[in-house]
Structure 1
């Protein structure tokens, strides 16, 4: 079975994630075992060091004393402190040169060693005892930290891989959007030009076509031309022009009101506030946003209800306004999903409307659009933020 690009990318993501976890788990397991073995060996070394110390204390001759000293001197990596049973420091090995035997720092060092490893007691022939405190060597300490460092590297690798794939997917989607839009505009352009010629022919002919009919045909032709222009702008950098927010919204609202049921009321609340604001928009694309939001709301209300636009805030460089309806509402876990291409609750929907709306607002106008709030069975409030000129 042949896999498509999305399935291949999905498989690669899962494979990378699996191998990353496998590498991380294997590394942790191996390093932990190595740390345990090394810790055991270091304790054996200290036990040998302790035995050598006891033998020196009990030695009456020089038969094996040099060999015993060699054992003691052979410890060059493990920090060790030797005390008598009263806690007085008798000797030490591999400590920081700044530590003084009589300082408080040495007492703190002994406490740290006791917390890290169980002290070893050295029983002497006279019944007294010495105590050996030790801590892990530098190598062992580094090995204990190494797995976490390695996990951090693996995590960084996963994050970088995720962003790389996301960027690749976004780029591919942008190319698809642009290609489809421009091809649609191209395919519409030829028949529209032909139809415009036929309309001009009808106007000049003597077929007694009612003027009202010609006006309606002409209006629909202009509408088709506007749709073609919208598609042609997707994928290219649109020109933003300053428009009065009220004028832009009112034009779109009037168009939709004339083409929807009289049972649906679409309006602007606090019109005077809208009239105070100018927004930097591409008018054809922004009108497309308004129409898509209103059409979705009408569908959610089953052709009966109320839609209104309401300003929330007018800031020095931006305006925040809401599009509110009293339709079916949106589940909270779908607030972000509804903007993804292909998501739809309609039987014959393509799931492109809100995805296109988000692309126009955020990619082409540097604004924001999101679901501010929604209650199932009560309605939804979409929030839009745009750059302004007050």
Structure 2
């Protein structure tokens, strides 16, 4: 909708050369103004919503479903509220014309056009503006449809992001950051859950996953949810919960089922240890950016070993797993490629920068650590959504 608003003035510049073009959309029992997104100090922002029964020309155009023309300030004062007069005075307008925006099924809103000096709107100009309002209505309808799809996809995606388990000793924190471009709906996700107890009274192992399904749309978010569920089931069905065995089972399932799964992920198991002893990390990497491990002394290790990505074409791929001891106080960082991939920038340099941040701030509380990383790595703004998951062993 902001894009539609940006283009209004240019679209109407050659039609009577108005000094103002505004957009208001119908939202239940009110009109919601779409202010110029590039002008944060705009007078428009003083009144962002209007009841449909407000004594404003725009509200009247919506109520009556017809064009409302106010030739001058005297007519505005005579027929409309002091609030309307004050707003148009601050906008510097004398003549105002409000045209209803008719969609394919309903009245969508109002196009408000204004001139700083008294302006006579002739028959030809009125016809041209009416035709332009029809094109603008089509753009508004498409924008509303797209906004609704994006909103549903965002809600779906966020609903599928896991509530992190309450671990007895290990700290776990996660962060999800949408793409800078709202149109880019991603398939990034994280997951963390305890495994069944090996014996009564034992401390459960923890499974963690960070993954990225290819695509930036509702389909990617849906496939992400399917893969997450399939991976959980495959894990619990394959004791003793080998990450490589689980990924091989997922490959086999995706080769048979109609799931168009393409992407990358890291699937890991964290086994607890007695106090002051090292924990055990076992992981398998399907083409994903390398996890980073910060030792208690601050050194950061890049866990670079990986296999091919998740894809139907690689259904017979060999899945390997790797082990590492995590000394008490170690911090493990998993992330998706949106954090380190930028068009025209070197990904290895970005991973080195990320390792430096983990080195400097690795002792911070995990939520603060993830916030710092997200802020420092956000330039230029990511074109993809980003997931971060951090764990710290006691």
Greater length-normalized contact order (CA 8 Å, ≥ 6 residues apart): 2
TM normalised by structure 2 equals 0.25
Larger CA Rg, structure 1 vs 2: 1
Q: Would you tell me which structure has more strand in proportion to its own residues?
A: 2
